[in-house]
Structure 1
Amino acid sequence: MSQTTGDLRTARTRKAIVEAFAALVREQGFDQVTVGEIARRAMVNRATFYRHYRDKYHLVEDIFEHMTRALLAELGPPGALHPADRIATWATLFTHIGRRADIYGPLLGSHGGPWFAARLREHCVELAASG
């Protein structure tokens, strides 16, 4: 199997796991979701889940890191921001969150775990302080 095929398969598997996880958090709440349920919803074996993530907490950490990298790519290179640039930066942040409401919504909503919200809040404070 070529590296590209493996990369695509890995990306598809991770996407299915993340989408299944987000749907389950929306339905049941973060604390109630189990790895078995995530695997079933994503239509993968538990072993496949564990090949990618240690547990659901590791999955949330990975989601946060992925979303943060995507946001930083959209914002462009870091640097001192002028007041007008800050407005554009916040607009980009909210647009980014709106485009990925399928993930952010469940994790930030009333059923989400507090860890994700706290990390995003910290990230926003850092973003605000950088200008």
Structure 2
Amino acid sequence: MDRRIARSRQVIMQAFIELLGEQEFERVTIQGIADRANVNRGTIYLHFTDKYDLLEQSVENYLMMLADSCVPENGPTNELSRDLLIRAFTYLKEHAATYNVLITNKGIPTFRHRMTQMIEANITLVVNQMTLETGIHKDILAQFLSVSITGLIEWWVIQSMPYTPEEMVEQVAKILEARLQLWDTK
């Protein structure tokens, strides 16, 4: 893609996210986005059919950027590692303003839903390679972990990231390693 086209798309998406941080999705207009991005309406329509298309493409774009931030330097892996999680939390912290809007905006649950799906797909790959001798069904474990991690990310962002990425990953590791007895198994 031509750098000017990519730059225009990024400026438009960033303006859109900024506006979502200030108002509900329904109140955001193409003209408002154009004004914020300092482009004309026609430029937006060259890249997106409407604000719903802009929302869909923004969600996909920011999810891909988050996913790309997790890829280790030596390429993709099917392992869920502390390093991978630290990369994800660090990226979220570095881009807190954008992801705070995407995760917490009540008018657009799309991002949270798609993030959960992305996490579940990756966790399913890891879980399917595991040998479970606990009687836990792999699909239930993958679902539980993906929803838990999404919820934890959401909580962390909403709480203004009270812990470092490393502390968050350490806590997740402790939770996963713990053999909690939450109820009587008799």
- Interval containing the TM-score (normalised by the shorter chain): 0.7 to 0.9
1:43 Cα deviation from its structure 2 partner:
1.3
CA separation of 1:111 and 1:29: change in aligned 2, threshold 3 A:
farther
Counterpart selection for 1:40 from 35, 38, 49: 35
The answer as to whether partners of 1:14 and 1:52 remain within 8 angstroms in 2 is yes
Between structure 1 and structure 2, the one with the greater Rg is 2
For residues 5-84 of structure 1, the aligned pairs below 5 Å read: 7-74=2-69, 75-76=71-72, 77-81=75-79
**Range that drifts further, 69-78 or 44-53:** 69-78
Unaligned ranges ≥5, structure 2: 127-186
- Contact kept, 8 Å, 1:106 with 1:112, in 2: the verdict is no
**What displacement does 1:11 show?**
2.7
Number of residue equivalences: 123
Deviations 1:65-96 (A, max 9, x none): 22333333331444331xxx522222111122
The CA deviation string for residues 20-44 of structure 1, in whole angstroms up to 9 with x for no partner, is 1111111112222111211111111
Greater than 6 Å deviation, 4+ residue runs: none
- Percent identity for Structure 1 against Structure 2: 33
Taking only aligned residues, the RMSD between alpha carbons, in angstroms, comes to 2.1
- 2:112 match: 117
**Higher relative contact order, structure no. (Cα contacts within 8 Å, ≥ 6 residues apart):** 1
TM-score between the two structures when normalised by the length of structure 1 = 0.79
Give the structure with the larger helix fraction.
1
